[in-house]
Amino acid sequence: MASLISAILLSLLLLSNVNAYPKHGFSLELIHRDSPKSPFYNPCETSSQRMRNAVRRSARSTLQFNNDDTSPNSPQSVITSNRGEYLMNISIGTPPFPILAIADTGSDLIWTQCNPCKDCYKQKAPLFDPKQSSTYKKVSCSSSHCRALEEASCSTEKDTCSYKISYGDNSYTKGEVAVDTLTIGSSRLRPVSLRNVIIGCGHDNTGIFDAAGSGIIGLGGGSTSLVSQLGKSINGKFSYCLVPLTSETGLTSKINFGANGFVSGDGVVSTPLVKKHPATFYFLTLEAISVGSKKIHFTGTIFGTKEGNIVIDSGTTLTLLPSKFYSKLESTVASTIKVERVQDPNRVLSLCYRDTSSFKVPDITVHFKGGNVKLDKANMFVEVSEDVSCFAFAANEQLTIYGNLAQMNFLVGYDTVSRTVSFKRTHCAQM
């Protein structure tokens, strides 16, 4: 009952922002980290070095079980792929303070590193100083904002609401819960602001965070994520299109919110979005994976039930599957490939081949409930050195995740009202 009351109060607090966005929604530009247009572009790195870095960072997730229809008035921001993750440019506070943070569908809370910082990872950009924002307000223990955050704890002596979030790679952030104004910049008109957004002001942040980033923008399904805090203004809809990590072009694509986030047209396949705990994660139902004409049925139950047995996550690089199922999948794929099998030079992935002109991969189709997604070579194999490519799936007994490599060059749409996720094969760099 208490959680229901908190959710109602939170919804009322956000109603003032419903009309802040154009009725057609808004779109944010996507720039691949390794594009020459990216501020992180390193001309000295090879495509295989970039991919190797992405694979190593595949644990980025909070999951813990142990046609351009954009309105000309749409606000614009930038997302940049950062070693297998995607970064978003937004601003926090009044006056607006720019931050560059990981956009993650496996997280809820929006947080950034803040001054004073007791123990923070090295960050290139200046840290956000809450004392310089006239709209920054600490959240009290009794407030609905504090009750809305599962990771919150309270100090009754100081009446302050604190949080701690641990990630799958043992990184963590700790700090105080606050509300402030979040601003998304516009390339054509004035920036658009969202008032009283719940944020985390991180004073103790440690782990494998890139110095170029300032925190995380949670795009999950929980009540404190950016998606939920945008409220009725986006009608529960958003979509993204991830440019392949090997792309060298300066072309960009978009992440879309609201009406712009609806995925339609020829070739769209949809699957139910399963509601279960924790609300942060977007659960789908994986029924099978086909290799050529051979269908391998999936009966995994890591998440407790057959329905909602896999999480789709933009922040995890590899697709992770239970060991028994993965072994069947790997052996079936291996039986169809006739070139020399070699060891991953980085000793991370288990099915690797010498990538010569004769290296041909089988057709692989992922069978979700109600929809089949056919992968191409770039979704299935990644170049880990100049002449070695490895299968972009891995065994994991704690997590079952449909990772971002499998989503590259698909327009992936989330509708949290109709409870569906849709896929449409798309050349993302040309959106």
pLDDT digits (tens, 9 = 90+) for 281-332: 999 999 999 999 999 999 877 777 789 999 998 878 899 999 999 999 999 9
* Alpha carbons 160 and 142: distance in angstroms, whole number: 9
Confidence label for 71 from pLDDT (cuts 50, 70 and 90): very low
**Any idea what DSSP says for residue 52?**
H
Provide the pLDDT for residue 397: 85
* Alpha carbons 431 and 427: distance in angstroms, whole number: 7
pLDDT at position 188 over 60: no
Of 162, 178, 171, which Cα lies nearest the Cα of 85? 171
| Phi, psi dihedral angles at 288 (to 5 degrees) | -170, 165
Q: What is the mean pLDDT of residues 166-190?
A: 78
Q: Which of 104, 210, 344, 415 is catalytic?
A: 104
Provide the pLDDT for residue 185: 59
* Alpha carbons 235 and 49: distance in angstroms, whole number: 40
CB 391 within 8 A of CB 242: no
Higher-confidence position of 361 and 167: 361
pLDDT digits (tens, 9 = 90+) for 403-430: 989 999 999 999 999 999 999 999 887 7
Angle CA(55)–CA(56)–CA(58) in degrees, nearest 5?
65
Q: How far is C-alpha 168 from the geometric centre of its chain's CA atoms?
A: 14
Identify the top-confidence range among 71-75, 252-256, 294-298.
Answer: 294-298
Helix (H) or strand (E) holding 323: helix 323-336
* Alpha carbons 202 and 163: distance in angstroms, whole number: 9
Question: Quick one: what percent of the chain has pLDDT higher than 70?
Answer: 79
User: Burial letters for 239-251: b for 16+ Cβ neighbours within 10 Å, e otherwise?
Assistant: bbbbbbbbbeeeb
**Among 38-47, 94-103, 173-182, 366-375, the least confident range:** 38-47
pLDDT at position 15 over 50: no
Active site residue 376: no
Q: Return all residues near 79 (Cβ < 8 A) that are at least 6 apart.
A: 28, 29, 30, 31, 86, 87, 88, 89, 103, 255
Q: Which of 34, 180, 210, 313 is catalytic?
A: 313
Query: Amino acid letter at 382?
Result: V
* Alpha carbons 103 and 51: distance in angstroms, whole number: 19
Question: Other CB atoms closer than 10 Å to residue 277's CB: what's the count?
Answer: 10
Active site residue 355: no
**Any idea what DSSP says for residue 262?**
-
Radius of gyration, alpha carbons of the chain: 21
pLDDT digits (tens, 9 = 90+) for 358-400: 899 999 999 999 999 999 999 999 988 888 999 999 998 888 9
* Alpha carbons 409 and 167: distance in angstroms, whole number: 27
In order of 37, 40, 49, the CA distances from 43 in angstroms are 12, 10, 11
Sign of CA dihedral 349, 352, 354, 358: negative
